[in-house]
Amino acid sequence: MTDEVTNVPTAAPATDAQGDGQVVFDAGALRVLAVLAEKEALTPDAYPMSINALTNGCNQLTSRDPVMALTESDVQRILQNLIADKFVAEVNQAGARVSKYEHRLRMKWTLEQDKLAVLTVLMLRGIQTAGEIRTRSGRLHEFATIADVEAALQFLIDKYPPLVARLPRAPGTKETRYSALLSGEVFPESGELPVAAVSGVSRHDRIGQLEAEVAGLRDEVEALKAQFQQFKQQFE
């Protein structure tokens, strides 16, 4: 974990920057959503969360990378944008003196708890291996094997737009790394490009390239047919 504290003074709404349904959050919104999802599993009696509790969770020094220093005003602005985008709901409980908030990720992306646990850990701690995710997600969801983690990761990769990317192995390592795709394009520390789709645009690009290649092959086949017909006519 890095020792640097990240300040996030502004709160931008979630955007579909690619124009294809791929939602992009800023760092503050990503942290707020991840903390809501984490605390729902860890402390259900204290969930939904107040702004004060949520701010403390966002600025927590453990299980966070990077460590942040959000104010309650920052969190309030972030929540308002997330509510507008229907990623968070405000809950007014009977007898409660303050409003509380809950995430809607499970409904937004049709996620079961194992998939939500994997995504939450990636949102909170950045690029990780399947083994690291299994170790760190134990209190959110108990995975029996690393293969179970990899199955959940594959589900998140296969969603459209994808929520997770599979990254190249770092030099000198044997394990594949994974990253959430909710903050835009992912560029691993090594500077290599991801193996799997980094965004909805990259997936569209690959489809477009394949379609162009197929069209080109069809043109070549038609040209060969025409040449063959001309060759045939020489002997008729």
Query: Exposure pattern of 85-114 as b/e (b: 16+ CB <10 Å)?
Result: bebbeeeeeeeeeeebbbbbbeeebebeeb
Closest CA relative to residue 11, chosen from 109, 102, 65, 83:
83
- Cα(79)–Cα(177) distance, integer angstroms: 30
Its pTM stands at 0.75
Closest CA relative to residue 129, chosen from 94, 159, 170, 162:
170
Per-residue pLDDT of the chain (236 residues; tens, 9 = 90+): 455 666 654 555 566 544 556 789 999 999 999 999 999 999 999 999 999 999 999 999 999 999 999 999 999 999 999 999 999 999 987 777 899 999 999 999 999 999 999 999 999 999 999 999 999 999 999 999 999 999 999 999 999 999 999 998 878 888 999 999 998 756 544 444 444 443 333 445 555 555 666 666 676 777 777 777 777 777 76
Closest CA relative to residue 89, chosen from 74, 102, 99, 77:
102
Residues 6+ positions from 38 with CB-CB distance below 8 Å = 57, 120, 124, 140
pLDDT score for 134: 98
Residue 29 φ/ψ, nearest 5 degrees = -65, -40
Cα separations in angstroms, 199 against 17, 65, 102: 10, 22, 27
Return the structure tokens found at 122. Answer: 């990636």
- Cα(57)–Cα(11) distance, integer angstroms: 17
The count of residues in the chain is 236
- Cα(40)–Cα(59) distance, integer angstroms: 17
Are 129 and 113 in contact, with CB atoms under 8 Å apart? no
